[in-house]
Amino acid sequence: MSPLRVLKPLHVRSHAPTAVVYCEGNFGSIDGKTANGLVRQSEKYKIVSVIDSAKAGLDAGVMLGEVACGIPICCDLAQAMAPGERPPDVFIFGIAPANGLLSVHERGVVLEAMSRGMDIVSGLHEFLGDDPVFIAAQAEHQVTIRDVRRPRANKDLRLFDGRIATVTCPRIAVLGTDCAIGKRTTATILTRALNRRGIGFAGTVRILSEEDPAGPGSAVFPR
């Protein structure tokens, strides 16, 4: 496969896209839950680095109190991009701030990532894909923006119809009435344990609170 980056509409990847996770000042904390979860377990993305200048130089796995995972923590986006190599495919905004909005500085970092040819994944309450500045940058740099909290189109929504009653396999409910209390971690541990025993299991986590109706990182960033 050619190492040259091509226009996104024509590019088909045969591997999990590489991703850098932005978590400045929050990695390992509650507000860094998205980044924490992606470092611990991600089947959708290959996490290659985390950005948090306060913890630069450390291994992300060790920082989370686990074994070294080979994912470095970098001080900024420039350091996160290995010299001579193509940039990561995706820039994931891995912070879950209470107000759900980008700061002025963070807007600049996202725009820098787009200028380097990286697709953007955001779990914020504000939709970057609706912002004229990001829309223009998306067109200029031929990248995509994925607002994972954006609701599905009305035509794709449906009311409860009772079809769940036809599901015959055992179901384990992992519920929570607040954010960042361990739903994703619990579901991941259960999935791994059951799979090790030869029991096929797939976990989906949803949150039950007015604060975060779209769900936590585990729901919006598929494993």
Per the CB < 8 A criterion, the answer to whether 144 and 119 are in contact is yes
Per the CB < 8 A criterion, the answer to whether 138 and 109 are in contact is no
Give the separation between CA 9 and CA 215, rounded to whole angstroms. 29
The percent helix, strand, coil of the chain (3-state, each to 5) is 35, 10, 55
Using the CB atoms, write b or e for 107-146: b if 16+ within 10 Å.
eebbbebbebbbbbbbbbeeebeebeebeebbeebbbebb
**For residue 72, what is the DSSP state?**
B
The residue ranking higher by pLDDT, 201 or 60, is 60
Give the separation between CA 122 and CA 199, rounded to whole angstroms. 33
Report the share of the chain in percent with pLDDT over 70: 83
Task: Specify which residues 18 forms β-bridges with.
Answer: 46
Predicted confidence (pLDDT) at residue 52 exceeds the cutoff of 50: yes
65-96 per-position pLDDT tens digit: 888 999 999 999 999 987 667 889 999 999 98
127-136 per-position pLDDT tens digit: 999 999 999 9
**What pLDDT score does 7 carry?**
40
**What pLDDT score does 84 carry?**
62
- Domain 8-147 in CATH: superfamily? NAD(P)-binding Rossmann-like Domain (3.40.50.720)
Domain ranges of the chain: 8-147, 154-220
161-194 per-position pLDDT tens digit: 888 888 888 888 888 887 778 888 888 888 888 8
